[in-house]
Amino acid sequence: MYVKSITLDSIRGFKKLEFNFQRPDHSYAGWTVFLGGNASGKSTLLRSIALAVIGPDAGRLLLGNPESWRGWMHADDRRAEVKATLTWDPHFDRFKTKGASPGIFFDAGVRFALEGKDGGDNGDRQGGELPTLRAVEKRIAGTRVLTVIRGPWEPNALGWFSAGYGPMRRLTGSSSESLRFSLDQSCVSRFVTLFREDAALSESEAWLKTNHSRWLESQKPELKELLDRVTALLSDNLLPQGMRISKTTVDHVFVQDARNVELPMRDISDGCRGIYATVLDLVHGMFSVYGIEGLFGEDTSGRPIVNMPGVVLIDEIEAHLHPAWQRDIPEWFKLHFPKVQFFVTTHSPLVAQAADPNGVFLLPSPADLNSEPRPLEDDEIERLRLGRAEKTLLGVAFGLKSVRSRWANAQIGKYKRLNAKAKSGASLSGDEATELKGLEKQMEIAFEPVLSDSTPLGSSLSDAASVVSAPRAN
């Protein structure tokens, strides 16, 4: 299953949004990125995609108190809809009950509505009936049951893998209520952190240790294969500093780094634990849906991969990650899950640069009233993917006016003013001359060459006249 397109009508800050995610070669797998400032709606968009994919029954569980659902409806509207067009693969995805098979595409949608006593959409937004969450009723000709209900929304239908992860991807610390959702056998467990900040991904580590215990007791070869495959995947340059899974016991999963320091996974850094928990949970979820047959494989270089399709949503994937890891982790996911369609939000240019064709979508900030959500054009994506990180930050995708600190821009402004005054022939006071001398030393640092790149930003003070024309502070 993949998501071809998404449409939001009156969902929170989006009066209207329509995105098509199909690649130019008509594929879907790969890295799709949503960019925008804080409060631009990136998390809302991810959760909206999730609601369309998992349906209203699972959505009600994850959204919690219906009173809070009013916030999903834009302004004074009484109805809001999320509609997705899905595509499916008969090799992996099955429909549970009889009915006419859809074409390659079919619709999935949910609707928030304030309903009056007669069941119509005429309730009082300020009081009265609570909002409802229901399926968008759009039936395929010749069927008695919505196609989506027989497929991705049916808990017992085979295939239809999807998962969603919020920015709080902890290995431990789940609340008792969220733990209950994590233990759910349906898709709810695979989306709990996307909707609930008090949830953790501890159950997948428990799953790995349980299977280790089962193997010790039974010595079944399929359990040994599962453990070996998961260990190989998690040890294939996933974690930094040469970290790899050294051993699994009934109590802990141990990690060893290049210095041969060995620690339980729960004792390493937040960033390492978060990525480890996400990948392990993803493998656990795909194993639960597909089983082990055909799940694992190797690429042409012999590296371990997970060879099944699906839709995976990750909010702020760069959380707790060093910039070097932000650059590498998207390529790791794409290499090891080559058939997965990833939707990610980010504030990192290094994460965004991994986007595939037709894979960058920009959400304007609430203050930008003249802009609409849009995909980046091909040439804009090319500039983003090929440019250095600081050029990406200054481009249309992130919209910064300067990559220097406010203090640094203020110092550059002082240098410009004093240098212009000196060059005009005007005399400088003693304090001004002293300050200009100190600023010249600072400008040598500000415009020193970029040693790790063949195209420096500026090599000397002679470049300053043009380069410092950027706004003084931003």
Q: What is the 3-state secondary structure (H, E, C) of 310-336?
A: EEEEECCCCCCCCHHHHHHHHHHHHHH
Say whether both 367 and 461 belong to one domain: no
pLDDT at 201: 84
Whether 473 is covered by a domain: the verdict is no
* pLDDT tens digits for range 221-260: 999 999 999 999 999 999 888 889 998 888 888 999 889 8
- Please check whether residue 142 is in contact with residue 100, taking contact to mean a CB–CB distance below 8 angstroms: yes
pLDDT at 3: 97
Say whether both 449 and 365 belong to one domain: no
Strand, helix or coil for residue 47? helix
Say whether both 52 and 164 belong to one domain: yes
Nearest partner of 155 among 291, 288, 62, judged by Cα: 288
- Please check whether residue 277 is in contact with residue 170, taking contact to mean a CB–CB distance below 8 angstroms: yes
- End position of a domain, from candidates 370, 394, 418: 394
Which residues, other chains included, contact 267 with Cβ-Cβ below 8 Å and sequence gap of 6+?
none
Whether 168 is covered by a domain: the verdict is yes
Q: Tokens for 58?
A: 């699972």
Amino acid letter, 22? Q
What is the sign, positive or negative, of the torsion defined by CA atoms of 281, 35, 167, 61? negative
CA distances from 204 to 38, 159, 201, 285, 293 (A): 31, 19, 6, 8, 19
- Dihedral angle, C-alpha 186, 189, 191, 193, nearest 10 °: 170
Say whether both 171 and 207 belong to one domain: no
Amino acid letter, 164? G
- End position of a domain, from candidates 285, 306, 327: 306
Strand, helix or coil for residue 107? strand
Say whether both 121 and 153 belong to one domain: yes
Say whether both 133 and 186 belong to one domain: yes
pTM of the predicted protein model = 0.86
- Please check whether residue 444 is in contact with residue 468, taking contact to mean a CB–CB distance below 8 angstroms: no
What stretches of 64-170 show up as alpha helix (H) in DSSP?
147-150
Whether 474 is covered by a domain: the verdict is no
Dist CA 22 CA 4 (whole Å): 6
- Please check whether residue 136 is in contact with residue 146, taking contact to mean a CB–CB distance below 8 angstroms: no
Whether 401 is covered by a domain: the verdict is no
Residue with tokens 């998390």: 43
Structurally, the chain folds into a number of domains equal to 3
Q: What is the CATH number of the domain that holds 365?
A: 3.40.50.300
Say whether both 157 and 247 belong to one domain: no
Give the range of the structural domain holding residue 462, as residue numbers without chain letter.
406-467
In eight-state DSSP terms, residue 83 is: E
Dist CA 94 CA 289 (whole Å): 11
Say whether both 275 and 383 belong to one domain: no
pLDDT at 204: 86
CA 148, chain centre distance (Å):
24
* pLDDT tens digits for range 64-121: 888 889 999 988 889 999 999 999 999 999 998 766 678 899 999 999 998 754 445 5
Whether 91 is covered by a domain: the verdict is yes
Which residues, other chains included, contact 405 with Cβ-Cβ below 8 Å and sequence gap of 6+?
none
Say whether both 328 and 247 belong to one domain: no
| Beta bridge partners of residue 11, listed in sequence order | 14, 73
Say whether both 329 and 460 belong to one domain: no
Q: What is the mean pLDDT of the chain?
A: 86
pLDDT at 29: 97
Say whether both 89 and 128 belong to one domain: yes
Dist CA 283 CA 253 (whole Å): 16
pLDDT at 123: 47
Backbone torsions φ then ψ of 424, nearest 5 degrees = -75, -10
Whether 399 is covered by a domain: the verdict is no
- Please check whether residue 387 is in contact with residue 408, taking contact to mean a CB–CB distance below 8 angstroms: no
- End position of a domain, from candidates 306, 338, 353: 306
* pLDDT tens digits for range 303-339: 999 999 999 999 999 988 888 889 999 999 999 999 9
Whether 281 is covered by a domain: the verdict is yes
What is the sign, positive or negative, of the torsion defined by CA atoms of 125, 126, 128, 134? positive
Low-confidence residues in the chain, pLDDT < 50: 117-119, 122-123, 125, 140-143, 455-474
Q: Tokens for 318?
A: 């760069």
Say whether both 164 and 220 belong to one domain: no
Whether 176 is covered by a domain: the verdict is yes
